[in-house]
Amino acid sequence: MCGIIAAISRDDGLENAVISALERLEYRGYDSAGIAYLDRNQPVLCRIRATGRIENLKRKIAQRHIDGTIGIGHTRWATHGGVTEENAHPHACNGVAIVHNGIIENYQQLKERLKRNGYCFDSETDSEVIATLIAYNISDGLDFTGAFLKSIRELTGTYAIVAIHEKEPNTLLGAKNGSPMTVGLSPDGMNFYVASDAVALSSLAENIAYLEDGDCIIAENSDPAIAYKILDKSENEVVRQVVPNSISLKSVNKGGYETFMLKEIFEEAVVAAATYDGLDCNVDITKYGAISIIACGTSYYAGLLAKYFIEELAQIHVDVEVASEFRYRNPVLSPNSLYVFISQSGETIDTLCAMRLVKQRGYKTLALINVDGSSIAREADIVIKTASGIEIGVAATKTFIAQSLSMLMLCQKKEDIKMDQITSSINAVLNNCQQIANAAEKMKGSKGLVYIGRGISYPIALEGALKIKELAYISAEGYPAGEIKHGPIAIVDEDVYTISIAPYDKHFEKTISNTQEILARNGKILLITTKNSAGAVAGIVDHDNVDVLFLCDVEWPYQAFCMATAIHLLAYYTSKAKGHDVDKPRNLAKSVTVE
Ligand code: AGP
């Protein structure tokens, strides 16, 4: 979940290229950041690192001008070792510097061997072992490239690594296994880049290529032009397909909104319409006897919502599983099942490995992803791309809408889907955002939050609880409303706020009963319902402990989408009310490429 960037810049663009890429990579991790480069005038390795946001690093860089042609940069999401400058990348040893995204699983053994050979370590990280191992292999008589390739062969685990060496100031080396890596050339050929993803290169390279697991890249700042070659895991030279960089700079800016997340929530109706118009879903699920949906986090909740859609509309049995559990069970798979993997980033290691398990058993895999060229997209048998556009906010919002609607389109004919109800009800929530902000102001001091719902409102309750945890750092749980009386109601008191999601559907009366049970115990309630329930809730709307948010009356299952928008905004405003960084919540990163 870190971000890496490396550049060979024959013009004076090194500093701007590395910094602009790091700013766009921050969504992958932002505990600390750093750069290393070879000074043009004296090929000495220079390294600048800082904890916290990129701004802190930029302040340090401003104190000295980067005058170099080759450099590497990194944004960190801590896996091994705390958030300190010593643990920040790049790591260096005897003139070799590296940046790394992933986890080196055999780093302890390598570290012990290197220590026995007299090497010392400054950090607690696994990544530092890579720089030291390369330096050790150079001291053993190999040149930089030979030492790099030998070191890579000795690593076990996941990595996207780039390395530079002060004794070979024209060479940039990279290796990929399990973590994403993208390469690109500037339009004028004067700059070559290696990065974690296309977002980092959105203003730098119009055409990019995605490396495969086992690939290494050797780039030389040679004359007359930068030259590079890609070696596969057998060290044979290979060519990887060059594709246009679909991430435009336009999509990687806030468009006048205060935060990326607010922009992305306000795009939810547009994304729903784009998904409806653009989805190429030539998959006939009725051919399968059952469907298994495997995912993590918000994508898992989209899968849970899909279960209700598919079983109701297509009468096909659906299982939904958390990828990190599925992949370590010995799951019983069926040739007559379709295995669906939902992932907005397409890089979540648990989901990727779960899909590899199913493929190894010889079964059909379908990936619903939002990022072209992502690892999951490249390995699935069938790929459906959601039309969300890039999502920068770490908390998933518009991609949840796109995923959920995409799954609905697998089981309801396109012409039967009432898109006007979906888009108009989402827009009505967006237009009523101030009422949601007011509710958030009341909730922000809660010691705990409970989200309840029945039917399709239950996955929305789970998504709401996750969002508020991620963004407002308040303990929150989502429950089936019917489960409240089986224990969770014990936590209800005047400090606990319950968000009761109760559209006027077949579950409404029962969910209101559960809400009354909570009210009877002095619990505070935010009731999210639909306007056609006004008469039925007349009895409780005037209660001092109750606030009501009325959504548009839309038919089942279309209310799922505007309810999602409502709980996304609720989490957003609660986080803002608490003064948190909405786009980069603490401890999180946008794509979870480590286990
Ligand atoms: C959602 O807001 C979280 N950021 C997280 O739960 C996320 O949904 C999960 O990590 C799965 O990510 P993916 O969709 O990229 O696989």
Domain ranges of the chain: 3-249, 257-417, 425-582
**Listed residue (88, 74, 89, 95) closest to 25, CA to CA:** 74
Q: Average pLDDT of 271-297?
A: 93
| Nearest-CA residue for atom 7 of ligand 1 | 297
Q: Average pLDDT of 79-93?
A: 90
> Looking at residue 307, what is its pLDDT?
98
Report phi then psi at 426, rounded to 5. -65, -45
> Looking at residue 588, what is its pLDDT?
85
d(CA 12, CA 128): 29
d(CA 415, CA 245): 33
150 pLDDT higher than 70: yes
Contact 276, 420 (CB under 8 A): no
510 pLDDT higher than 80: yes
Q: Is residue 78 very low, low, confident or very high in pLDDT (cuts 50, 70, 90)?
A: confident
Q: Which one has a higher pLDDT value, 23 or 399? A: 399
| Nearest-CA residue for atom 9 of ligand 1 | 297
Kindly state if the Cβ of 345 falls inside 6 Å of ligand 1: yes
> Looking at residue 589, what is its pLDDT?
79
Q: Average pLDDT of 256-283?
A: 91
223 pLDDT higher than 90: no
DSSP state of 582: S
> Looking at residue 77, what is its pLDDT?
82
Q: Domain 257-417 maps to which CATH number in 3.50.50.60, 3.40.50.10490, 3.40.50.1000, 3.40.50.150?
A: 3.40.50.10490
Contact 339, 364 (CB under 8 A): yes
- DSSP secondary structure string, 38-85? EESSS--EEEEEEESSHHHHHHHHHTS---EEEEEEEEE--SSS-S-T
248 pLDDT higher than 80: no
DSSP state of 147: H
From residue 395, give the alpha-carbon distance in Å to each of 213, 320, 346, 390, 568: 28, 21, 15, 13, 9
Contact 2, 74 (CB under 8 A): yes
> Looking at residue 418, what is its pLDDT?
96
Kindly state if the Cβ of 470 falls inside 6 Å of ligand 1: yes
List pLDDT tens digits, range 432-470: 999 999 999 999 999 999 999 999 999 999 999 999 999
Kindly state if the Cβ of 403 falls inside 6 Å of ligand 1: no
> Looking at residue 592, what is its pLDDT?
77
> Looking at residue 473, what is its pLDDT?
97
As a whole-number percent, the residues of the chain with pLDDT over 90 amount to 82
Q: Is residue 39 very low, low, confident or very high in pLDDT (cuts 50, 70, 90)?
A: confident
> Looking at residue 546, what is its pLDDT?
95
Residue 312 CA to ligand 1 center (angstroms) comes to: 26
Provide, for the chain, the percentages of residues in helix, strand and coil under a 3-state DSSP scheme, each rounded to the nearest 5. Answer: 35, 25, 40
b (16+ CB within 10 A) / e for 439-457: bbeebbebeebbbbbbbbb
> Looking at residue 27, what is its pLDDT?
77
Handedness of CA 430, 432, 437, 440 (dihedral sign): negative
Q: Average pLDDT of 238-264?
A: 87
Q: Average pLDDT of 508-528?
A: 94
d(CA 164, CA 171): 7
Residue 344 CA to ligand 1 center (angstroms) comes to: 7
> Looking at residue 203, what is its pLDDT?
84
As a whole-number percent, the residues of the chain with pLDDT over 70 amount to 100
Residue 396 CA to ligand 1 center (angstroms) comes to: 6
| Nearest-CA residue for atom 6 of ligand 1 | 297
Report phi then psi at 107, rounded to 5. -70, -30
> Looking at residue 357, what is its pLDDT?
97
Q: Average pLDDT of the chain? A: 94
Kindly state if the Cβ of 321 falls inside 6 Å of ligand 1: no
Q: Which one has a higher pLDDT value, 147 or 64? A: 147
| Nearest-CA residue for atom 2 of ligand 1 | 395
Residue 100 CA to ligand 1 center (angstroms) comes to: 21
Kindly state if the Cβ of 297 falls inside 6 Å of ligand 1: yes
252 pLDDT higher than 80: no
**Catalytic positions:** 2, 590
Residue 104 CA to ligand 1 center (angstroms) comes to: 23
198 pLDDT higher than 70: yes
Pairing of strands 290-295, 476-480: unpaired
Tokens 């070696």 -> residue: 231
> Looking at residue 218, what is its pLDDT?
98
**Listed residue (280, 275, 201) closest to 243, CA to CA:** 201
The CATH code belonging to domain 425-582 is 3.40.50.10490
The CATH code belonging to domain 3-249 is 3.60.20.10
List pLDDT tens digits, range 44-59: 999 999 998 899 999 9
> Looking at residue 249, what is its pLDDT?
67
List pLDDT tens digits, range 530-573: 999 999 998 888 899 999 999 999 999 999 999 999 999 999 99
